[in-house]
């Protein structure tokens, strides 16, 4: 997708396109992280983007590039600038770098073209303090509103999300994605919103096939993996808190403990009107993606090079009957960190070799598209030590046992 040159005279700065709240700041941090990783990969001539490390509020480090950025919601608020300045004075100066940064990238989404310094006096003090801390040979580059726009346009999924009007046929592509998302949500809900009673005796004949999730589901709670599950010792956490932007979690449980249904609940909780109404969940526009890992492993037997992203696309064509959905559709959400990846049944993979392969494919996907939420489920027996997800930054939880009140509520439903 190419840029429409005659439309680039005027544009809306990214800081005005994002909401002036915490959600907008998180989205901006995701954008800066991805752009910085791609920029570093280009400088180091790597094929894949690099995931920067967050070393403090408003600071990222990747390779020898240090990035200091100002959040969009800070336009008229100096408090956060002062907090960043405190961090620089108190902690940043004491950091030990494996390799000293040779480049400083300053990102100010409110600064306009032809400026050499950030727009805010307090943010300028932050930048000057950081510069004095770095070696004298360290170069400085300012990414202002125009630079950000150009860099976003250079990454088609970003350009399509934020500046479709500046891309050739951009509005047409954007409308196609919006239409595909509407159909995706409809088919995804139709496929995953029913609870089937497998191996259970049910009273009502109509329930022997399936029941709508919102009519019967009892939300499970989770506890830390190693917790001793008593009221005094175990910290029960509502699983919806696991859906924070960029979070990575493994949910463990015994056979029949409800792991698969829990993942389906998490997939639908932000977009299913009845679930939102009954359980008080929050509207969430992120794209839910649910993969049964056993089926993915079956495909890997004959196609060992099949990536997880490619499989998700094939799954959408087959299970949701959406042949018009393309890679462009998924990357529109993945690049922006706006996907929820739910990977079910790690324990059902046929061998440790397959478990290691799938873990590598998950790592590959999250490295290519950092910032997306990922949740993996597994039986406790079958989650082998040598293929755990700790090295990928996943935290671990166990499905909590239902209380007597919850069991009674389920039976009544």
| Cα 280 → chain centroid | 22
Cα distance from N-terminal residue to C-terminal residue, the chain: 52
pLDDT, mean of residues 336-353: 95
Residue 263 has pLDDT above 60, yes or no: yes
Q: Which residue has the higher pLDDT, 115 or 225?
A: 225
pLDDT, mean of residues 396-404: 78
137 with 236, same domain: the answer is no
Residue 124 has pLDDT above 80, yes or no: yes
**Alpha helices for 103-205 (secondary structure H):** 121-133, 145-153, 156-162, 170-192
What sign does the CA torsion over 217, 221, 226, 228 have? negative
288 with 151, same domain: the answer is no
Residue 104 has pLDDT above 80, yes or no: yes
pLDDT tens, residue by residue, 192-205: 988 765 554 445 55
Token readout for 306 is 């099949």
140 with 180, same domain: the answer is no
What is the rounded distance in angstroms from the CA atom of residue 65 to the CA atom of residue 105? 7
Token readout for 49 is 């983007």
- Final residue belonging to a domain, choices 118, 144, 168: 168
Task: Report how many domains make up the chain.
Answer: 2
- Final residue belonging to a domain, choices 168, 198, 231: 168
Among the ranges given (129-143, 173-187, 240-254, 285-299), the one the predictor scored with the smallest mean pLDDT: 129-143
What is the rounded distance in angstroms from the CA atom of residue 260 to the CA atom of residue 376? 10
User: What residue has token string 């995701």?
Assistant: 30
Instruction: For residue 295, name the pLDDT band (cuts at 50, 70, 90).
Output: very high
> How large is the angle between the packed helices 308-319 and 293-302, nearest 10 degrees?
110
Chain mean pLDDT for the chain: 85
188 with 98, same domain: the answer is no
Residue 387 has pLDDT above 50, yes or no: yes
This prediction has a pTM of 0.87
In angstroms, the Cα distances linking 56 to 20, 24, 81, 386 are 21, 18, 13, 32
Backbone angles phi, psi at 198, to 5 degrees: -90, 120
Percentage of residues in the chain having pLDDT higher than 90: 55
131 with 91, same domain: the answer is yes
276 with 130, same domain: the answer is no
Burial degree of 253 (CB within 10 A; 0-12, 13-18, 19+) = buried
- Final residue belonging to a domain, choices 118, 138, 168: 168
Token readout for 379 is 């039986």
240 with 98, same domain: the answer is no
Q: Which residue has the higher pLDDT, 259 or 92?
A: 259
104 with 240, same domain: the answer is no
52 with 146, same domain: the answer is yes
101 with 184, same domain: the answer is no
Tell me what pLDDT residue 6 has: 41
Tell me what pLDDT residue 290 has: 98
Token readout for 370 is 């950092």
pLDDT tens, residue by residue, 62-92: 988 999 998 888 654 566 677 777 777 777 7
pLDDT, mean of residues 335-341: 95
What is the rounded distance in angstroms from the CA atom of residue 407 to the CA atom of residue 385? 33
pLDDT, mean of residues 153-164: 96
Q: Which residue has the higher pLDDT, 401 or 149?
A: 149
Tell me what pLDDT residue 330 has: 97
Instruction: For residue 231, name the pLDDT band (cuts at 50, 70, 90).
Output: low
Instruction: For residue 232, name the pLDDT band (cuts at 50, 70, 90).
Output: very low
Tell me what pLDDT residue 114 has: 56
Instruction: For residue 207, name the pLDDT band (cuts at 50, 70, 90).
Output: very low
pLDDT, mean of residues 401-412: 58
Structural domain for 102, as ranges: 5-168
105 with 232, same domain: the answer is no
254 with 109, same domain: the answer is no
Q: Which residue has the higher pLDDT, 135 or 30?
A: 30
The CATH number assigned to the domain holding 186 equals 3.40.50.300
Tell me what pLDDT residue 413 has: 56
Residue 335 has pLDDT above 60, yes or no: yes
Token readout for 385 is 């030590």
């Amino acid at each position: 997708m190419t840029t429409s040159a005659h439309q680039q005279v005027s544009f809306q700065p990214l800081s005005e396109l994002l909401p002036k709240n915490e959600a907008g700041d998180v989205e901006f941090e995701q954008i800066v992280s991805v752009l910085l990783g791609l920029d570093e990969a280009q400088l180091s001539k790597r094929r894949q983007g690099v995931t920067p490390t967050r070393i403090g509020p408003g600071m990222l480090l990747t390779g020898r590039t240090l990035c200091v950025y100002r959040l969009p919601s800070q336009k008229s608020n100096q408090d956060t600038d002062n907090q960043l300045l405190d961090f620089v004075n108190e902690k940043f100066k004491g950091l030990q770098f494996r390799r000293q940064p040779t480049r400083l990238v300053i990102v100010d989404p409110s600064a306009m073209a032809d400026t050499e310094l950030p727009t805010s006096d307090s943010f300028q003090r932050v930048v000057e303090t950081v510069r004095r801390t770095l070696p004298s040979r360290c170069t400085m580059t300012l990414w202002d509103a125009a630079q950000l726009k150009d860099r976003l346009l250079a990454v088609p999924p970003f350009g399509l999300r934020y500046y479709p009007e500046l891309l050739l046929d951009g509005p047409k592509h954007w409308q196609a994605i919006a239409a595909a998302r509407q159909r995706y949500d409809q088919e995804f809900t139709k496929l995953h919103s029913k609870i089937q009673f497998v191996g259970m005796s049910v009273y009502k004949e109509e329930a022997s096939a399936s029941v709508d999730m919102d009519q019967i589901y009892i939300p499970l709670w989770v506890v830390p993996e190693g917790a001793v599950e008593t009221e005094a010792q175990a910290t029960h956490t509502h699983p919806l808190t696991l859906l924070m932007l960029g979070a990575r979690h493994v949910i463990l449980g015994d056979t029949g403990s409800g792991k698969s249904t829990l993942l389906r609940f998490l997939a639908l909780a932000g977009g299913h009107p009845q679930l939102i109404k009954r359980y008080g969940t929050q509207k969430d526009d992120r794209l839910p993606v649910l993969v049964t890992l056993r089926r993915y492993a079956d495909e890997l037997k004959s196609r060992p090079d099949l990536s997880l992203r490619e499989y998700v696309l094939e799954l959408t064509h087959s299970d949701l009957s959406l042949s018009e959905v393309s890679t462009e559709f998924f990357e529109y959400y993945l690049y922006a960190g706006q996907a929820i990846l739910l990977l079910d049944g790690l324990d059902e993979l046929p061998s440790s070799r397959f478990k290691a392969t799938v873990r590598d494919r998950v790592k590959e996907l999250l490295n290519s598209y950092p910032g997306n939420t990922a949740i993996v489920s597994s039986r406790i027996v079958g989650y082998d030590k040598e293929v755990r997800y700790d090295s990928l930054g996943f935290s671990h939880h166990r499905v909590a046992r239902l209380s007597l009140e919850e069991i009674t509520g389920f039976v009544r439903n």
